[in-house]
Amino acid sequence: MKRLILLFGCLTLMTGLFEVRAQEIPISQQMTATAMEIWKERPRKWSYDQGVLFEGIERLWKRTGDKQYFEFIQSSMDKFISENGEIDTYEEDHFNIDNVKNGRTLLFLYKETGKQKYLTAATHLWEQLKKQPRTKEGGFWHKKIYPNQMWLDGLYMAEPFYTEYAVLVKEEAAFYDIANQFIYMEKNSVDKKTGLLYHGYDEARVERWADPQTGRSPHFWGRAMGWYAVALVDVLDNFPKNHHQRPTLIKLLNKVSKAIQSVQDQQSGVWYDILDQPAAKGNYLESSASSMFVCALAKGVRMGYLPKSYAKVAKKGYEGILKEFVEQRAPGKINLKGTVTVSGLGGKPYRDGSFAYYISEKVITNDQKGVGAFIQAANEMEIAIK
């Protein structure tokens, strides 16, 4: 009996020790440990979801130097990239701007390894952007199947890669085009009263979801604005410091940051799926948008683009994420709850951009987009704490 009591006491002590050790492991590393456990296998097709995750892990690798993070990114990408630089399942003629996102990971691998196959693969995506259909004004279509439409999502998918590749090949004219993509999107989708941006814009005003006067979709979707805000801070990493349009991009970041702060839920610290309707039946707090906002604000402050006052907004948001969405999965591993899987406009079945549509989409635990955004946010907050 005494042996059983002693054994139970030892197990209790060990359990407590695991909890203490888990707490000592930085949150960014606990989330990454989960990601590396559940996404070992290659997904069915080339997808931007992976790119969001890899970018978070890349930043963690650069901060820690832990080779397991680099090896995970490289081995995952190598499942798609042939030795001659072809990308399996990628089809340029679809002109899907989402498919450009992973180009940043290809450039990262090329710079770190010097392997030509990564640059060749990235060049395929660069060639897509050179041929990408555009609105009459000059904005990239979101996809070939969505003619004349710009979505906030597309700024994140294309512009950080576009900027980094343009620096690599010294394509000076590209920087005007990159800045203009943000300028066009903001001009056509911003609500002047609130500073919030509508999810999409149809220049032709023919889509069922498009306002016949403005061409805008009906609502302010959280993750769409998250894509836009993070795109701005990421583009500024490589956008030439002496370019006369750089101050315009910083101004746009300040404008959207003010709008983001204005719709932060004061009780929880995080943000709703539909940003301006917290009391609407069915609306809910959403983790991927909240993570993107925290990342954009924290990085914006760190890089000197935003006033230091936004550090408090980011801190409140991050604390809210930890409380609302994070749960312990196992010793040294966590889960991220509350990520909406997808929200789009048009397509089949038709997504009409209504409030009812947005809240009908599935919300899950450990979605790659949410996890990747959260790792990026956690990394920024851990830098800030130091």
| Residues with catalytic roles | 153
Amino acid identity, position 32? T
DSSP string, 122-141: HHHHHHHHHH--B-TTSPBP
Amino acid identity, position 314? A
Coil/strand/helix, residue 201: strand
**Length of the chain counted residue by residue:** 386
Amino acid identity, position 12? T
Burial (0-12, 13-18, 19+ Cβ within 10 Å), 10: exposed
Q: CB atoms < 10 A from the CB of 24, how many?
A: 8
DSSP E strand stretches across the chain: 149-151, 200-202, 326-330, 333-336, 339-340, 363-364
Q: How far is CA 324 from CA 6, 280, 358, in A?
A: 37, 19, 20
Amino acid identity, position 4? L
Lookup: tokens for 209? 């979801």
